[in-house]
Structure 1
Amino acid sequence: MGSESIRYLIVPGWQGSADDHWQSHWQRSLPNTQRLERLDWLAPNRDAWCAELQRQVAADPRPVILVAHSLGCITVAHWAAQAPAHLLQRVSGALLVAPADVERPGCPLALQGFAPIPDQPLPFPCQVVGSDNDAAASAARALQLARQWQAEAAILSGAGHINVKSGHQRWEQGFSYLYRLQSRIESQARRRA
């Protein structure tokens, strides 16, 4: 699935992605993969998370696909809303899994600093994957975010928050969404050539 010309950047959510989380599995499985590091996963700070995402994108000139989960999806949206154009151009696309609705009633206090969620289109191809029983974002809200971001959307049945707790340790099915995103990126690149 990966190639030497593309890299993947894992953007975990609140509390990070433990060793048995699908993002960690993907990091071990996909070539040329790094993840955001050096962050306080328990007390997230929007500015710090966006700065680390920017640092990681800037650190390597190769095209990158962002693979975000939960609060990581919201971090990608915030970063894209204020990032320099030359760094945005390095992002080939983003897979945004189980975006956390930080504007929802009862949202944990630790996440509320990420509200409001940017609602402008993201400047790169995106695939949102949500669930019809995710406590962090309803299916309707995930679809609304996808529309605002101009992303393709998929809603899984009974998948919860698409994390370890909901039984998604390896989440092999998720590779099909990454493959679909990469196919769209390649198709757009051919049309521009």
Structure 2
Amino acid sequence: MASTALILPGWHNSGPDHWQSLWQSTHGYARIEQHNWDFPLRGDWMMQLEETVLKSPGVVLVAHSLSCVLVAAWAAHSQHAHKVKGALLVAPADVERSEMQHLLHSWSPIVRERLPFQSTVAVSRNDPYCSLMRASAMAHAWGSSLVDCGMCGHINTDSRLGDWPEGFALLQDLLKEETPHGH
């Protein structure tokens, strides 16, 4: 059975002009609804992801920012990660930065185990929430392909990418490529 995309917004959710929201409305993808978007707890977000994946036949995760860190933590603990066919991890947030510790204390340390599914990390060279070096190191630890999107800020609404066709092409690669391959 073909996999479908599952939208995992980051901290504060993704607004109506965010590429995740545009993909959701255009393509009918499901979105994980977290209990608290403004004061996120990693354990709570992991439970929401677990329950959603349990109900699905097969998914490709489309995570932004904080949810990239969520996917890594969830995959390391879940017995159901085999239901995930791939993940597009966009602009991972560096929650280990000192100024983030009091706001997102339950999110450190970032889990750096190889993901048990194919994944692509899309990064920006001028992301205010994560340096290119840190994002590259996360991608390497997760066993992900790294895609340099150039100067796109946090690859969010403020980046003015519209429905971000470049990112959608990366998702299509993951959706159609459901056989494992080497990196």
Q: TM-score range by the shorter chain?
A: over 0.9
Give yes or no for contact 1:95–1:127 (8 Å, CA) kept in 2.
yes
Counterpart selection for 1:11 from 1, 5, 8 = 8
Secondary structure of 1:173's counterpart equals helix
Measured against aligned partners, the alpha-carbon deviations of 1:97-123 in whole angstroms (never above 9, x if no partner) come to 000010123226322320100011000
Match of 1:35 in 2: 31
Deviations 1:10-41 (A, max 9, x none): 1110000111111011111224x211114210
Cα deviation, residue 187, structure 1 = 4.5
| Match of residue 83 from structure 1 | 78
Decide which moves more: 125-134 or 112-121: 112-121
Change in 2 beyond 3 A, CA 1:52/1:187: closer
The C-alpha deviation readout for 1:110-140, integer Å capped at 9, x for no partner, is 2232010001100000000011000111111
2:22 is aligned with what amino acid? H
User: How many residues end up aligned between the 2 structures?
Assistant: 182
Q: Partner of 2:68 in structure 1?
A: 73
Take 1:44 and 1:136, find their aligned partners in 2: how far apart are those partners?
A: 16
Amino acid at match of 1:188: P
Match in the other structure for 2:107: 114
Deviation string 1:51-109 (CA, Å, 9 cap, x unpaired) is 0000000112x11000000001111111111001xx11110000000000101232263
Please report the RMSD computed on the Cα atoms of aligned residues, expressed in angstroms.
1.8
Counterpart Cα distance in 2 of 1:188 and 1:71: 26
**Could you tell me how far apart the structure 1 residues matched to 2:101 and 2:65 are?**
13
Candidates 41, 44, 48, aligned match of 1:52: 48
Normalised to the residue count of structure 2, the TM-score between the two structures is 0.93
> Conserved in 2, the CA contact under 8 Å of 1:131 and 1:155?
yes
TM-score, normalization by structure 1: 0.88
Tell me the amino acid that sits aligned with residue 116 of structure 1.
P
Report the counterpart of residue 151 of structure 1 in structure 2: 144
Q: Note the residue ranges of structure 1 that are not aligned, 5 or more in a row.
A: none
Pairs within 5 Å for 1:96-175: 96-107=89-100, 109-175=102-168
Cα distance in 2 for partners of 1:121, 1:56 equals 22
Is contact 1:94–1:126 with CA below 8 Å preserved after alignment?
yes
Q: Identical aligned pairs, as a percentage?
A: 40
Contact 2:95 2:110 in 1 (8 A): yes
Cα contact 1:65–1:91 (8 A) shared by 2: yes
Contact 1:163 1:169 in 2 (8 A): no
Match of 1:21 among 18, 21, 35: 18
